[in-house]
Amino acid sequence: MMEVKLHDIGEGMTQADVLSLFVKAGDKVKPDQPLVEVQTDKMTAEIPAPFAGVIKEIKVDVGQTISVGTTIFLLESETKATNISYSENVEKTNFPLLKKGLTNTEQIQKKTAFRIMAAPYTRKIAREAGVNIEEINGTGSGGRITDEDVLRFIKRTDEIVDKQETHHEDYNSKNIRGNPAPIENTIPFKGRRKQIAHKMSQSLLTIPHCTHFEEVDVTEIINMRESWKKNNQSISASAIFVKAISTTLKEFPMFNARLNEKEETIELIEEHHIGIATNTDLGLIVPVIKNVEKKSLKEIHANLKDLTAKAQTNTLSIQEIKGSSFTISNVGPLGGSIGATPIINQPEVALISFHKTKKRPVVNDNDEIVVRSMMNISMSFDHRVVDGATAVSFTNRLTELLEQPNLLMMELV
């Protein structure tokens, strides 16, 4: 008998939602046959059968959120040799958690729990209470987590929640007459939404954010794109923004870096892997255009179009959403016209947002009032790595390339 578990399918994921079960207990399966479909914060994936056999038991339900390492199925091999070999190995292995009198399945479950050092029943207590057992310090032999450890952790958590609720109730009693209306509708806080929340909170808690704002005259870019269209050449504004960012990063490599606090070093990244923050029905996701510094505008435009389509249909691969070194967010099409304070995509050093383009009267160098297409940009940066003056220099150079796209074209020669 073998346990088919949820394994890490990319980017250090810790949990996933069970979307579909393709088999039921008693079904015969073939090697690599899809057994279950799961949804992580970034992608949908299928977990296949490791070998031919029979599904003996299903351990999860559709809609359930499970952690990495959770057993999904018990799979019995078609060949008795595999079954006997596995049982003999379990019996001969000297794991401190194993006890006499347990069934083979219980022994295997014990063996599986060895890393976390907790018995199946202890894990069940934590799971039913909605507690992440990995956050609990074990007081048992060898650091084993006991039932009492879990119960103490739950009690401590409940006390914290009770204090918070009491505080809110006191505030409400002083400021709101009568009882609040009952909550009729709820939305599940799980999957990608929960992972986004965790990542954003971690970024704000870790990185001292500072945001610099600038306005850019993009009239010449609009004129250039119109001339390209007349020649049946379509290049998106986002593609131009991406290339301008890459060109600027060559002159300011500190923004294409990551801080390694453990080693006390700032690691400069030579390749420009630009993440594109993309809004989807399932939430925010960041596909990555790799090696932008080596690509033409046409290649960047094609990559953007392909990745955006995959993001909207939830078909991005792990390789297409990992490894970004700098992130941009073009919120202009959504109507973001003034500015924002974007949260950095940790462990990157900066993130820049491009806002809505609007025609406005401006005063030119000849003191004439003219109508120009103006766009605001917001750049958040890690103040541990770079200072405000460096950020201003970066956006000044970026603004120069966007306002005078002929200079950008010269950089591509």
Q: 38-52, 72-86, 253-267, 323-337: lowest mean pLDDT where? A: 72-86
Inform me whether the pLDDT recorded for 120 exceeds 90: no
In 87-241, which ranges are E strands?
209-217
Average pLDDT on 218-233 reads 93
pTM of the model: 0.60
Longest dimension (CA), the chain: 92
The identity of residue 20, as a single letter, is: S
What ranges in 288-363 are assigned the alpha helix state H? Answer: 297-312
Q: Tell me which H or E stretch contains 328.
A: strand 326-330
pLDDT of 92: 33
Non-local CB neighbours of 350 within 8 Å, separated by 6+ positions: 255, 326, 344, 379, 380, 381, 382, 386, 391
Task: Output the DSSP codes for 197-213.
Answer: HHHHHHHHHHS-EEEEE
Closest CA to 412 of 244, 209, 272, 173: 244
Inform me whether the pLDDT recorded for 106 exceeds 60: no
Average pLDDT on 392-407 reads 95
Inform me whether the pLDDT recorded for 379 exceeds 70: yes
Convert the pLDDT of each residue in 356-370 to its tens digit. 999 999 998 899 999
Neighbours of 175 (CB within 10 A): 7
Convert the pLDDT of each residue in 166-209 to its tens digit. 555 555 555 544 556 677 777 777 777 777 788 888 888 889 99
Convert the pLDDT of each residue in 123-137 to its tens digit. 767 776 777 887 888
Rg of the Cα trace of the chain?
Answer: 27
167 is known as an active-site residue: no
pLDDT of 242: 96
Average pLDDT on 48-64 reads 89
Set out the domains of the chain in order of their start, with CATH numbers.
2-148 (2.40.50.100), 192-412 (3.30.559.10)
Residue 151 banded pLDDT, cuts 50, 70, 90: confident
Inform me whether the pLDDT recorded for 101 exceeds 90: no
Which 8-state DSSP code applies to residue 136? S
Kindly report the average pLDDT of the chain as a whole number: 82
